[in-house]
Copies of this chain bind each other. A is one copy, B any other.
């Protein structure tokens, strides 16, 4: 009874919020005042993504699934697939999505143990390469020979499933309390490396599909950029530059407020994300790198500043998860062909990554690594977006790819969390929300 009452209340709250959002947004954008018609709707979108994230957390609690999955599902409900009150490509939603994933990677970097990586780098590199190559080749072959697609769209489809979502995996690890373990280190290391590989594959495919040929310099440049970026981050980390800056701020800027430290952390994050984008990498890699660099800041300053940064995490991380769900179009939910294709892609996409479990000696740990690596996300969605922009994939195939990414992510997240619970004996409801 309590459960049914909870579900009814949740449905009423969700519908109520959706109605308010719908009418408020409509009234705002009809204003003649630029601030009211353009800027305020962005803040409203950010706010309601956050509300839906809260609803998603409650949904997860009621039906006993991972909160992350609950939030993505709530995004599917709020987005064009069902209620249609949140537009996945409005500026406020895009801002929330980008800021959210940057904050997730920032936290992952702050907690990343570089010393541990020195031990794990080989296995992480192998896991990353295997996890990229298997889905790319198997889906590419299947698309070409079984579905009769041309090579380019078939390989693009494979590309969608190459990259583990380092953002979502970190979120799952954090919730499970495994972020700073040896296993967490391997998973994050592998996820970061396969993100880089994914970007490499995407760059090659994008150039090939839009220009019809490939410049060797493009690939060389990405490799140089990766080496320079992570080399630079390693050097800054090793020098402990972050601690020097924090000390400098303490001497010259800080009075009674931690404001200058908050602004330093926030600004450094955005700057690193932008720098990564400028040299052709994904912004998330920059966020991860600067997190590692700033992890050297004094624990006391780090802790008090993190209290403030969490205010942004509370708004934007949930917003990111919900906004991923909103990217599923209604056509995908209604098309039988898209579902069939999506299920096939989900299975291959899942198995292709899960096989990485055999690269880890310990069986239980291998199982968890395989599940965590199967979670996809933003890079896969970027593949779909580029494919659509270059007219490589048709609408149904693109919808199927999106659906596949979301299904494999929701299932991967649920299974990963269940496996962790089984291993540690901690119940989901006790673990609580990470954010």
Interface residues of A (CB under 8 A from B): 6, 9, 20, 24, 27-28, 31, 33-36, 38-40, 42-44, 46-48, 50-51, 53-54, 57-58, 61, 91, 94-95, 98-99, 102, 249, 252-253, 255-260, 262-264, 266-267, 269-271, 273-275, 277-278, 283, 307-312, 314-315, 318, 429, 431-435
Contacts and interface: CB of A to CB of B under 8 A. Distances in A.
A22 to B, nearest CB: 12
Given A91-B91, A257-B432, A278-B27, A263 B43 contact: no
B434 A24 contact: no
A203 to B, nearest CB: 11
A256 B47 contact: no
Nearest to A30: B278
**This chain: how many copies in the complex?**
2
B262 A24 contact: no
A305 to B, nearest CB: 9
- Which of A20, A27, A283, A311 counts the most chain B CB atoms within 10 A? A311
A337 B252 CA distance: 39
Contact of A253 (B54, B91, B102, B312): B54
B43 A99 contact: yes
A57 B263 CA distance: 12
A266 B95 contact: no
Contact of A270 (B46, B257, B264, B435): B46
Contacts of A308: 307-308, 310-311, 314
A416 to B, nearest CB: 19
